[in-house]
Amino acid sequence: MRRWFAHAPTGSTNTQRSATSTGIILFMLGLALMTAMDASVKWLVEDRVHVIQLLVVRSCIIASLLCLYYASRKQLAQLKPVRTKVQIVRGLIGFLAPFAFFLALKYLPLTDANVVFFSNIFFITLASAFFLNEKVGPYRWSAVAVGYIGVLIAIDPSADGELFGYLMILLSSATYAFLFISGKKLGTTETSESLVLFYNLGVGVVALIWLPSVWQSLTINDWLGILLVSVLAVFGQYCMTQAFAVAEASLLAPLNYTTLVLTLIFDWVLWQTIPSAQTMLGATIIIASSCLVIYREHRQESKLKNTA
C-alpha cells in the first residue's frame, strides 16, 4: 500500500537539497522493504499460511509495536482518536485492502499484482473529485481514462495469472483509495498515528472473527515468516512516512514505479516467472498516465500555494 501525495517541506535551498536526498534514500529503502514484504507474503500464502491467520498475527504485532514505541516515548496521547466510531468503521472496511491484495498474491505473479495495483491512483483521483470536491480538469480525467485502458490491457489471465486474482487486486486498489480519502478527511481532527493504529486494529478484529473457521497449525518457520512480514511492514511504512516528511511528494511519488524492477527480480529469482508482453504494455500505459496525474496534482498544489 503506497502513499502518493503529501505536503512539501520548507526551508533554505541547501537544507531542502539535503532533505530531498535524505527523502529519496528513505523512500527507496521503504519501497524495497515493502516489496520484500509482498514477496514474503506470497511465499507464505501460496501453500502454507491462510491469509486470515497472517492478518491476525500481523495486526497484533504492528499494534503492539506502535503502543510500545509511543509508551516508551511517553506519547500515548498521539494514539488517542477524536472520532472513535468513524475510525473504527474505517478500520473495519479497510480490512479489504490487505486481505484482497494478499489473497491475490496466491494466484498472481508479484509483478502482475503490483502493476494492476498501480491503478489506485486513478481510484484516488475519482474519489477526490466526488468526495473531496477537488477540481479535476480534462487532462487528469483523460489520464484516468487512458490509465484504466492500461489496466484492462495489463490483466492477462491467459498468461500466469488468474482472473480472480486480478479482481482481488482491483478490490484492494479501490479500498486503498477509500483509506486514502477517508484518512485525508479525518486528518483535520485525527493524528496519523491514531489512524495507523485503528486501521490495523480494524483489520485484526475482522480477521479474528473469521479466524476459527480457517485456523490451521503453524510451524516455527511460518511464525518467523509472519514476524518478518510484520517487521518489514513497520519499518517500510516508517521509512516512507519519514521520506514524505522531508521531501516533496511530487518528487517521490513517481519513484513508486521502481517497485516494478524489484518485483521483476523477485519473480525471476524466487518463482522463475516473467510477465507477459501484454502485462508490460499495460504497465507502460498505467505508469505514463499516473505520472501525468501526479504532474497535474503538483501543478494544482503549486497554484494554490502561489495564490495563498
Spatial separation of the C-alpha atoms in residues 37 and 270, rounded to whole Å? 14
Share of the chain above pLDDT 90, in %: 48
| pLDDT band of 6, cuts 50, 70, 90 | very low
Confidence of residue 2 (pLDDT cuts 50, 70, 90): very low
Listed by start position, the domains of the chain span 13-307
pLDDT score at 161: 66
Q: Dihedral (C-alpha) 176, 40, 51, 206: value to the nearest 10 degrees?
A: -50
Task: Specify the pLDDT at position 14.
Answer: 60
Q: Which residue has the higher pLDDT, 177 or 4?
A: 177
Tens of pLDDT, residues 52-85: 999 999 999 989 988 999 999 999 999 999 999 9
Q: Please tell me the pTM assigned to this model.
A: 0.84
For the cut 60, the answer to whether the pLDDT of residue 270 exceeds it is yes
Over residues 277-301, the pLDDT tens digits come to: 888 998 999 888 888 887 777 676 6
- pLDDT, one tens digit per residue, over 163-203 is 899 999 999 999 999 998 998 889 889 988 899 899 999 99
Cβ–Cβ < 8 Å for 53, 99: no
C-alpha cell recorded at residue 69: 514505541
Identify the pLDDT of residue 39: 95
CB-based contact 65:201 (threshold 8 Å): no
% of the chain surpassing 70 pLDDT = 89
Each residue's pLDDT tens digit, 118-173: 888 888 888 888 887 877 788 878 888 888 898 888 887 776 668 899 999 999 99
